[in-house]
Chain A
Amino acid sequence: MSGLAIFTGVEVMFYWLGVLSLACVQGLVWLRWKLQSSWISLVVLAAGMGTMLFAAAWAISSILEKEPQSASMSMMVIMLPGLVLATLGGRLAWK
């Protein structure tokens, strides 16, 4: 959409991250509802997914800003811990 000279790159990014966030929330609700996953596992999974979304936002913003080193650092420093948390939470939740 930014290519259409309507929305800024950051606006488009946050729109899609909003869509992804909603999908994550729906996933959590589904896990609790259908699989009766424990609250603790859902908290860990939510923290992991939230951290990954934050890392994605940071990385995309850094690329828009033409700072690729910042984008790679966000992948290592934020995305990886988020992935670990999400994997752990997912395994606990998926009974």
Chain B
Amino acid sequence: MKGFEENTSATEPMLGRRSLLKLGMAGTAAALASAVPVPASASANVRDDGFGVVFHDDFPQDISPDYKRFDQSQTMFNRHAREGVPYYKAIWDDSRPGFSGSDYAMNKASATLYHRKQGIPDYSMDTVYVPNELSLPTPYKFPDAATAHAQIKRVARHFGANVVGITRRDERWDYSHVLKPNSVSETLPWDEAYPDFKPKTVVVLGWEMEYEALATAPSQIADATAFNAYSGLTYVTMHLARYFNYMGYKAVPAVNGTGLNVPYAMAAGLGESNRMGMLQNYHYGTRLRVARVYTDLELDEYYDKPVTFGIESFCANCLHCADNCPSKSISRDDRPSMYTAEDVKDKPYINPGVRKWHLDGEKCHAYWIESGTSCGTCLATCPYNKPNFWHHRLIDRVNTVLPGPLHKLMAEMDLWHGYGNMFDEKAPAVFWDPKGRSYNGLMKDY
């Protein structure tokens, strides 16, 4: 135990059978009492979506006529700071639940953005984050690879990631050369850009875009959800990189820099490649943005394996994205193809050598400039892009086992059911509707 007083054992009170019985009777009485409707008084409205919630015209606590505004310097923390009383020193003790080196690192890393204003240096993407004086003195060893997977994923979800996969670093998916900071032409070979960093593990993270926002594509609202996802991923990757730092490891957070997201995401089991050449996630479909954190922590075993769930067959029978693409950038080929260097000699922005459907990025970007948006029509129209409802999850599962020709029918049915309509001028109103999609029935503002 580091920096913590011994003998602070907490004995839990034990409940006898008699006490449990009393507790049960008290609970029943309380439940009955709370089930009695609260009458609405003349001065208070009972909310129509939740009994017992009362609106007040005035602040609901008594305020003295002598009340004065408070001086910030008198807050307890500021007074203690002046008196030299330390804030507190976080501790770790691997023998104590909730205090392991991993728990400690998660706690310290969680303050990354918050503490920036308190003099901790600025961070950016694609740079090596290193352990500091608050990191564990010796790198933390997880009890085993399975625990490491579980805890790293839990920490990433704690920071806001919707999906997480862990895979070995694979140089094939890293850029051969990376751009120097603030340059669009000057590059360094990967190993020279990160001379003292030998990553072993890559954590791949996904952040969901909002369904209603993406449905408005192409629009400023759809762009907002894409950029919000990137900001979210910036947050997650920075904080996760610091988590590795506090455990004693180096890490590089990367949203779109250092390497390729889609193959890393596929290697980490987060989905399959689709007709757009993008990631089709088993849960969010196309509605996901992806980022990575590289670290020199090496695991004994890597459990996340690449997955396929019928996307190639479905895409072969569905052309919704290609049909709706305003710039015709998406391949209409029946099957994915393996481009050679010769095939892409006029398109250096396409990397040949992998069998896939290739998207013409230059044509796509031309439409972005023309429309004043980053488009996203293809992402929004995909039948796999659905809100989180049981019947969509059911159809996704059914599609994994259906034979190819039935995928054509399923793609058609999606249109007949009213999905996938793009350039829909009514979609922004759905996004701005204060009640939103009412599936959870709990959407009223609190």
Contacts and interface: CB of A to CB of B under 8 A. Distances in A.
Contact of A10 (B49, B53, B390, B419): B390
By secondary structure, the B interface counts as loop
Contact of B417 (A4, A9, A73): A73
Contact of A68 (B51, B387, B418, B438): B418
- Interface size class, chain B: 20 to 34
B391, B417, B438, B441: most-surrounded residue (chain A CB, <10 A): B441
B391 A58 contact: yes
Interface in A44-59: 57-58
A64 B437 contact: yes
B22 interface: no
A85 to B, nearest CB: 20
Contacts of B53: 5
Given A4-B49, A5-B50, A57-B391, A65 B441 contact: no
Contacts of B440: 2, 8-10
B439 A61 contact: yes
B437 A61 contact: no
A7 B387 contact: no
A66 B387 CA distance: 11
B88 interface: no
A61 B417 CA distance: 13
B50 A66 contact: no
Contacts of A87: none
B417 A70 contact: yes
B444 A5 contact: yes
B389 interface: yes
A15 to B, nearest CB: 12
Interface residues of A, number: 25
Contact of A61 (B391, B413, B416, B430): B391
Given A10-B439, A66-B430, A4 B51 contact: yes
B23 interface: no
B346 interface: no
Contacts of B387: 65
Interface string B49-75: 111010000000000000000000000
Contacts of A77: 413
Contacts of B389: 10, 61, 64-65
B419 A3 contact: no
B418 A2 contact: no
B48 interface: yes
Contacts of B47: 5
A64 B49 contact: no
A36 interface: no
Contacts of B51: 4
Nearest to B414: A70
B420 to A, nearest CB: 11
A67 B418 contact: yes
B429 to A, nearest CB: 10
Contacts of B430: 66
Given A3-B48, A4-B50, A5-B49, A70 B442 contact: no
Interface in B418-446: 418-419, 430, 437-442, 444
Interface string A1-29: 01111111111100000000000000000
A10 B442 CA distance: 11
A69 interface: yes
A80 to B, nearest CB: 15
A40 to B, nearest CB: 27
A78 to B, nearest CB: 11
Nearest to A58: B391
Nearest to A2: B441
Nearest to B211: A65
Contacts of A64: 389, 437-439, 441
**Central interface residue in A9, A11, A73, A77, by most chain B CB within 10 Å:** A9
A69 B418 contact: yes
A66 B441 contact: no
A43 B440 CA distance: 35
A2 B437 CA distance: 13
B437 A66 contact: yes
A3 B416 contact: no
Given A9-B441, A67-B417, 16 more contacts: A2-B442, A3-B49, A3-B441, A5-B50, A6-B50, A7-B441, A8-B439, A9-B438, A10-B390, A57-B391, A61-B391, A66-B430, A67-B418, A69-B416, A73-B413, A73-B418
28 contacts: A2-B440, A2-B441, A2-B442, A3-B48, A4-B50, A4-B51, A5-B49, A5-B53, A8-B441, A9-B440, A10-B441, A58-B391, A61-B389, A61-B390, A61-B391, A64-B437, A64-B441, A65-B387, A65-B437, A66-B430, A66-B437, A67-B417, A67-B418, A70-B418, A70-B419, A73-B413, A73-B418, A74-B417
6 closest pairs, A vs B, by CB? A2-B441, A69-B418, A5-B50, A9-B441, A70-B417, A8-B440
